[in-house]
Structure 1
């Protein structure tokens, strides 16, 4: 099916200190059925205007040079450019893990929250792609969909997918946000343990607000 499948997020298996992202998930093609929906986090993106994403503002766009070409937009301190054509400001002190040039993960020091940002070529209908991923990922334990719906993110069509699941006896909450812009699909998502929800959502909203398409 055309479109971008969200990448493996919360449902990804983890190894010792390095907690390997298991849900190889949907990122490039199909959802890793094993650990439920983590699949979402890689290629698609969906964001809920309802989750605060729609009110964020991005850094200023590129300005023309004297020769008529354009130069990269200036970014505020703390915002990091990524190879995937976007920039963001992940929390200080979190462990950085580059999966591919266009997919970057940050894990909190206590391992209870992870942030993911990535980009890919946009293909097909984003909602339909995520719905396919969701259907294919129902083998995970205690998976419960909270919402999977269209929305907008900074004026662009977007999809938000929120669900809970259990991994190795530990409950997790996932929030995936994806949107298409200028022929590319972007995703900024998080999964966290419910016990830190208030703090986790503050971190997520702040990071989403910093997300800038370059």
Structure 2
């Protein structure tokens, strides 16, 4: 290149370009004063821009330097200097000879959840440091994450960073950043906040484990629309990271966890610690409606084993619109993340973050009594106690009990299309997931339209558990189902199973959440 060997600001000798983006080119350079290698970012020339637009671009670059310089942390690239070169500002930074996460993920490559969690820990540490300094990054994505030697993770390119209190440098209707990793509120033209960076972190983790951005479409416009309104596609490879990614990608910024909670969840997943809970209603107390986009599905693994019959298929009758109320707990955040983490974060939200979930559920009496107090009953629900199974749980007021076998009880909605079944296996097998695999084999034989969405190990009430989610077709419509099984080998296994019309899943799924959250054995 013609610029190779050129001296910038009388001090920095350009060696070779090491990266290029929309705003500029990053060069490897020699600092001839301190005899060290540095990275120097020079802006591209933009002859098609007006003088005012060029001025805005240059000010963005200076702001990048000021913003990044305010954040002193091992996971944030160090800014050494800001100089002028032919009228253009240049940022002189620490040189990190490393590929980006984007390089590693090219071609749809993925990372194991544990490795993605390790990288995520470095990212969230950088984000916390930035936010503490009053800086929003606004362009967190795989291409801005350097994977250095010794496992170091470095967040770089604060080129569109915004300092709290500073005026915006974008024009009306202009969106700055990478569309695939831009939070819904930014798509809608709303002011970004710290939770917007967390959404971008969630999108980055999604690509790391799934091989693609969460809402990638054929065009930028379609992608933006999908981010703003489409539900999140089921994850297939996220494993224990799924609950955290799902809640980070909540449409509503207030439903996302804090940076601190996110860090705890990542730590638990990376270290292989145990988890307990994940709820999407972060920081909403006990009110609010559930719109399906913050849906908290049990996910993440560990084990429990019980045999039980093929999941029931609800009879075909007419559709109905169900209730949309969902209990939201403050702990949804405390547990949501402490719980999200680990080998398999299931979520059992408790009212204050520690509701005695750990008690052993086995009973020797023929009519055992619940050993744990149920969570507060949500509005529109009633608490039922089943002496036969020795459990209690909430059900919607207008759902009725059906006659069933001695080891299961089912409640259905007024249409008969949706149903919740509580089953028991005594004695339980080696792990619930093995039980589910046996049932799946039977289900495949009986329902050719069956399609697995996920089957994962997790923990629930500090016991081995598994969550299984799938779809199938009835006589007139498609159905979706979710099943949570937990217990101890040789003891009892309990199963919580919901099936409902797929088209109304967002309406009925909160019933599963509420039954699970209020379940006591």
TM range (shorter): 0.5 to 0.7
Which residue does the alignment assign to 2:468?
161
Deviations 1:148-198 (A, max 9, x none): 111111221101111000011310001000000481000111001122112
CA separation of 1:129 and 1:72: change in aligned 2, threshold 3 A: closer
CA separation of 1:4 and 1:178: change in aligned 2, threshold 3 A: same
Q: Give, in whole Å, the separation in 2 of the partners of 1:72 and 1:89.
A: 13
Deviations 1:100-119 (A, max 9, x none): 33311010012231101121
Given the alignment, which residue of 147, 167, 176 partners 2:454? 147
Which residue does the alignment assign to 1:171?
478
CA separation of 1:137 and 1:60: change in aligned 2, threshold 3 A: closer
Following superposition, the deviation at residue 80 of structure 1 comes to: 1.8
The one of the two structures with greater contact order (alpha-carbon pairs below 8 A, sep at least 6) is: 1
Given the alignment, which residue of 394, 415, 418 partners 1:110? 415
Q: Give, in whole Å, the separation in 1 of the partners of 2:495 and 2:431.
A: 15
Given the alignment, which residue of 428, 431, 438 partners 1:125? 431
My pick for the range that moved more, 200-209 or 71-80, is: 71-80
Following superposition, the deviation at residue 85 of structure 1 comes to: 1.4
My pick for the range that moved more, 100-109 or 71-80, is: 71-80
Deviations 1:76-96 (A, max 9, x none): 673221111111111111120
Q: How does 1:54-73 map to 2 (within 5 A)?
A: 54-56=348-350, 57=355
Q: How does 1:8-47 map to 2 (within 5 A)?
A: 8-11=310-313, 14=315
Q: Secondary structure at the match of 1:89?
A: strand
Structure 2 stretches lacking a partner, 5+ long: 1-304, 319-342, 360-368
Using the size of structure 2 for normalisation, the TM-score is 0.30
After the TM superposition, list the runs of 4 or more consecutive aligned residues in structure 1 that deviate by more than 4 angstroms. 56-61, 71-77
Q: How does 1:77-116 map to 2 (within 5 A)?
A: 78-82=382-386, 83-116=388-421
CA separation of 1:152 and 1:198: change in aligned 2, threshold 3 A: same
Using the size of structure 1 for normalisation, the TM-score is 0.68
Q: Is the 1:10–1:174 contact (alpha carbons within 8 Å) kept by the matching residues of 2?
A: no
CA separation of 1:102 and 1:128: change in aligned 2, threshold 3 A: closer
Q: Give, in whole Å, the separation in 2 of the partners of 1:134 and 1:98.
A: 24
RMSD in angstroms over aligned alpha carbons? Answer: 3.2
CA separation of 1:208 and 1:172: change in aligned 2, threshold 3 A: same
Given the alignment, which residue of 26, 50, 53 partners 2:347? 53
CA separation of 1:162 and 1:109: change in aligned 2, threshold 3 A: same
Q: Is the 1:54–1:155 contact (alpha carbons within 8 Å) kept by the matching residues of 2?
A: no
Q: Give, in whole Å, the separation in 2 of the partners of 1:153 and 1:59.
A: 8
Q: Is the 2:306–2:492 contact (alpha carbons within 8 Å) kept by the matching residues of 1?
A: no
CA separation of 1:173 and 1:15: change in aligned 2, threshold 3 A: closer
Q: Give, in whole Å, the separation in 2 of the partners of 1:128 and 1:144.
A: 18
Q: Secondary structure at the match of 1:93?
A: coil
Identify, as 1 or 2, the structure richer in strand: 1
Deviations 1:95-140 (A, max 9, x none): 2013133311010012231101121211233222221221232121
Q: Is the 1:147–1:162 contact (alpha carbons within 8 Å) kept by the matching residues of 2?
A: yes
Q: Secondary structure at the match of 1:99?
A: coil
Identify, as 1 or 2, the structure richer in helix: 2
Select the structure of larger CA radius of gyration.
2
Given the alignment, which residue of 422, 442, 445 partners 1:136? 442
